């Protein structure tokens, strides 16, 4: 059953989610002005799924029940499904200009689905069946699930078992006949507070000594012992000022939090990995692969809106016909569409896993994300170039509306602001104010968390992709191609050793 946006928001109120922000417990977090825009972004994933115009993109057929489900809860059945996923993400980026948070869960579903199948094949465990039942419940209730991978990690040079504080990675502290008790935390969790459930996964490949840290399981967001500490964003307290124009994007936003597990009990039926350390790397690689594909959709949709905003700023300034402005918009479009091409390419080249669901081409997905670590920065630089300095020096909305006389002729602060910040005659100054604030929000305000730094570190920092590109790039095969055409038959000592 598909939930309406209203039902989704009401469903959050029914949870006993524990949220802390600015050193205080936030009881009515659903209506909190700092948190609410992020809830609106997730609600859009529900709204579009009910819009007949987007039905094909936003919904799918459950492989388990045959029911119509939100694509965010789908197990990809074909390369076409993978392509539709990217299109859905671009659409949502266009509709929210923010992170809509539901991708991490979808990417976790698909990675856990195939990994549990392979663990069971080796150990005769029942993780795949556990996961299947869990996912049917998610699909039937149209739930939002956080994909929780990144541990705090402590000293990065040390493995989980080598850390001074074992909680630096989520781990088992007690094994019971009916389940496990876990401790630790996950950092930077996108949309965690707005999720009904969490799927926890390991964050790195592990060795035998790390077996107690090699865990995957599902847990309700309001489970006993689980709480969140809200991550603040640039300019977040502007949301408390009742100045919607100053927010740039008053409706939508992203969300990250520290999720803490303080002796949380996980019943056996929700466990998907429990000590099978040699599969930790597989799960990480698969989740990261899907998530790196995701960025070829979501960031592109946000990029579309950013390019549109830059074009409007140019028009409002009266420079839209200048050749360098046109060229900068072309460059921004070229970069944005290159990201999309990578997202589509790694989807089209997708192939089935042993479990039968479709996985992206790992090399192309990593190339996609590597580009995402760079191109949005250049797109933002060009947007700031086009916008002009006013996007960071403009007085507040309150000044634009102020009746306080300030000039010798009795003009108010508002009139002075509207006089000096006017540009083209036919454009209301308020429209210019709005679009420049919008650009500020996306380039270096709250939305920049999702568009810039998440582009860099989300789904793994740039070096993580380079390691995968090195692994998947098959340099040996390329050397053979060169040798064959160049007529080289000799095998060097290096080649003999490799
Ligand atoms: C906005 C945002 C949203 C996110 N959402 C989610 C989410 O929903 N779910 C989730 O699980 N995660 C999420 N993440 C986490 C993301 O995956 C991590 O930020 C990323 O993996 C990098 O980890 P880190 O931030 O701990 O940085 P670090 O690991 O500290 O990396 C910092 C630098 O150190 C380097 N480095 C780290 N370790 C080593 C090492 N051992 N050897 C050499 N160099 C090293 C890195 O390459 C990088 O250059 C999100 C992150 C952001 C910024």
Which residue's structure tokens are 């409706």? Answer: 251
Residues framing ligand 1 (Cβ under 6 A): 104, 147-150, 153, 156-157, 186, 188-190, 256, 449, 453-454, 457-461, 463
CA of 390 to the centre of ligand 1 (A): 33
The yes-or-no answer on residue 454 being catalytic is: yes
Residue with the two structure tokens 């950013």: 306
Please list, residue by residue across 108-137, b when 16 or more beta carbons sit within 10 angstroms of its beta carbon and e when fewer do.
bbbbbbbbbbbbbeeeebbbbebbbebbbe
For 220, 243, 392, 394, 408, the CA distances from 414, given in Å and listed in that order, are 50, 14, 18, 12, 14
Question: Active-site residue 129, yes or no?
Answer: no
- Give 464 Cα–ligand 1 centroid separation in angstroms: 9
Q: Which atom of ligand 1 is nearest to the CA of 146?
A: 8
**Could you say which of 256, 384, 433, 440 is catalytic?**
256
The answer to whether the beta carbons of residues 186 and 259 sit under 8 Å apart is: yes
Tell me how far the alpha carbon of residue 143 lies from the centroid of ligand 1, in angstroms. Answer: 26
User: Within the chain, which residues score under 70 in pLDDT?
Assistant: none
What does the pLDDT read at residue 104? 98
480 is catalytic: no
- CA distances for 392 relative to 203, 353, 410, 438, 462, angstroms: 38, 49, 28, 11, 29
Contact 206, 120 (CB under 8 A): no
**366-379 pLDDT per residue, tens:** 999 999 999 999 99
Angle separating helix axes 462-472 and 362-372, nearest 10 degrees:
150
- Contacts of residue 238, Cβ cutoff 8 Å, sequence gap at least 6: 246, 247
Tell me if residue 76 is catalytic.
no
Atom 46 of ligand 1, nearest CA residue: 461
pLDDT of residue 252: 98
User: Is residue 413 within 8 Å of 420, Cβ to Cβ?
Assistant: no
Q: Is 202 left (phi over 0), alpha (psi -120 to 50) or beta?
A: beta
Residue whose Cα lies nearest atom 24 of ligand 1: it is: 457
The residues, any chain, with a CB within 8 Å of residue 17's CB and separated by 6 or more, are 29, 193, 221, 222, 228
**What's the CA gap between 483 and 461, in Å, rounded?**
35
Determine the pLDDT at residue 494: 81
Cα–ligand 1 centroid distance for 171 (angstroms): 19
**Atom of ligand 1 minimally distant from the CA of 147:** 9
**Catalytic pick among 99, 342, 346, 368:** 99
Q: Which atom of ligand 1 is nearest to the CA of 104?
A: 8
* Gyration radius of the chain's alpha carbons: 25
Residue with tokens 């035998």: 208
Q: Residue 492 has what pLDDT?
A: 85
Q: Which is catalytic among the residues 76, 171, 196, 291?
A: 291
Atom of ligand 1 nearest to the CA of 191: 8
Contact between 429 and 422 under an 8 Å Cβ cutoff? The reply is yes
Residue tagged active-site, from 190, 203, 353, 373 = 190
**C-alpha triplet 117, 346, 74: angle, nearest 5°:** 45
- Segment 70-87, tens digit of pLDDT: 999 999 999 999 999 999
Q: How far apart are CA 306 and CA 441, in angstroms?
A: 10
> 345 CA to middle of ligand 1, Å?
25
Respond yes or no: is residue 103 known to be catalytic. Answer: yes
Residue-level pLDDT at 45: 98
Contact (Cβ atoms closer than 8 angstroms) between residue 108 and residue 199: yes
The angle formed by the CA atoms of residues 64, 189 and 140, to the nearest 5 degrees, is 20
**Distance, CA 458 to ligand 1 centroid (Å)?**
7
Q: Which atom of ligand 1 is nearest to the CA of 256?
A: 3
Q: Ligand 1, atom 53: nearest CA belongs to which residue?
A: 454
Taking alpha carbons only, the member of 342, 390, 393, 348 closest to residue 370 is 342
Cα 113 from Cα 372, distance rounded (Å) = 26
**Considering only CA atoms, which of 297, 253, 251, 257 is closest in space to residue 450?**
253
Contacts of 334-338 spanning 24+ positions with Cβ under 8 A: 335/303, 335/375, 335/378, 335/379, 336/300, 336/303, 336/304, 336/307, 336/375, 336/379, 337/300, 338/371, 338/375
* 188, 202, 372: residue to mutate for ligand 1 pocket, most atoms within 8 A of CB: 188
For 145: left if phi > 0, alpha if psi spans -120 to 50, otherwise beta; the answer is: beta
For residues 380 and 376, what is the distance between their CA atoms, to the nearest angstrom?
6
For ligand 1, atom 38: residue with the closest CA: 156
Q: Is the C-alpha dihedral spanning 201, 203, 208, 213 positive or negative? A: negative
Q: Is 291 a catalytic residue?
A: yes
């Amino acid at each position: 059953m598909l939930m309406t946006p209203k039902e989704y928001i009401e469903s959050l109120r029914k949870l006993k989610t524990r949220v802390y922000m600015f050193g205080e417990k936030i009881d009515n977090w659903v209506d909190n002005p700092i948190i609410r825009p992020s809830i609106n972004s997730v609600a859009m994933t529900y709204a579009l799924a009910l819009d007949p115009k987007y039905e094909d993109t936003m919904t799918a057929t459950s492989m388990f029940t045959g029911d119509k489900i939100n694509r965010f809860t789908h197990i990809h059945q074909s390369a076409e499904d993978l392509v539709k996923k990217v299109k859905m993400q671009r659409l949502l980026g266009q509709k929210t200009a923010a992170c809509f948070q539901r991708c991490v869960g979808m990417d976790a579903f698909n990675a856990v689905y195939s990994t549990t199948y392979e663990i069971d094949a080796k150990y005769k465990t029942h993780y795949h069946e556990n996961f299947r039942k869990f996912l049917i419940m998610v699909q039937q209730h149209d739930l939002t699930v956080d994909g929780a991978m990144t541990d705090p990690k402590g000293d990065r040079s040390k493995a989980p078992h080598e850390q001074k504080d074992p909680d630096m990675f989520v781990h088992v502290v007690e094994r019971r006949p009916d389940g496990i008790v876990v401790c630790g935390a996950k950092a930077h969790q996108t949309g965690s507070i707005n999720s009904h459930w969490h799927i926890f996964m390991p964050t790195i490949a592990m060795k035998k000594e790390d077996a107690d840290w090699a865990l995957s399981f599902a847990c309700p967001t309001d489970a006993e012992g689980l709480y969140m500490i809200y991550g603040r964003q640039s300019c977040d307290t502007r949301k408390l000022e009742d100045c919607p124009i100053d927010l740039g994007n008053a409706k939508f936003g992203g969300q990250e939090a520290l999720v803490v597990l303080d002796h949380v009990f996980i019943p056996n039926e929700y466990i998907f990995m429990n000590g099978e350390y040699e599969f930790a790397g597989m799960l990480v690689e698969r989740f990261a692969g899907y998530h790196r594909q995701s960025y070829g959709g979501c960031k592109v949709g946000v990029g579309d809106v950013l390019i549109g905003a830059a074009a409007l700023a140019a028009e409002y300034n009266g420079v839209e016909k200048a050749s360098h402005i046109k060229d900068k918009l072309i460059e921004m479009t070229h970069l944005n569409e290159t990201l999309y091409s990578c997202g589509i390419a790694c989807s089209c080249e997708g192939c089935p896993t042993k479990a039968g669901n479709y996985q992206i081409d790992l090399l192309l997905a990593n190339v996609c994300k590597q580009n995402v670590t760079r191109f949005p920065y250049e797109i933002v630089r060009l947007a700031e170039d086009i916008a002009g300095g006013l996007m960071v020096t403009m007085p507040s909305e309150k000044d634009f509306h102020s009746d306080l006389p300030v000039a010798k002729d009795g003009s108010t602060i508002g009139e002075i602001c509207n006089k000096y910040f006017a540009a083209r005659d036919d454009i209301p100054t308020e429209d210019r104010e709005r679009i420049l604030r919008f650009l500020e929000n996306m380039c270096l305000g709250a939305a920049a968390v999702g568009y810039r730094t998440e582009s860099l570190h989300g789904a793994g920092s740039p070096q993580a992709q380079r390691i995968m590109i090195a692994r998947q790039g098959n340099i040996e095969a390329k050397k053979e191609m060169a040798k064959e055409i160049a007529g080289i038959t000799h095998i060097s000592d290096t080649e003999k050793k490799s």
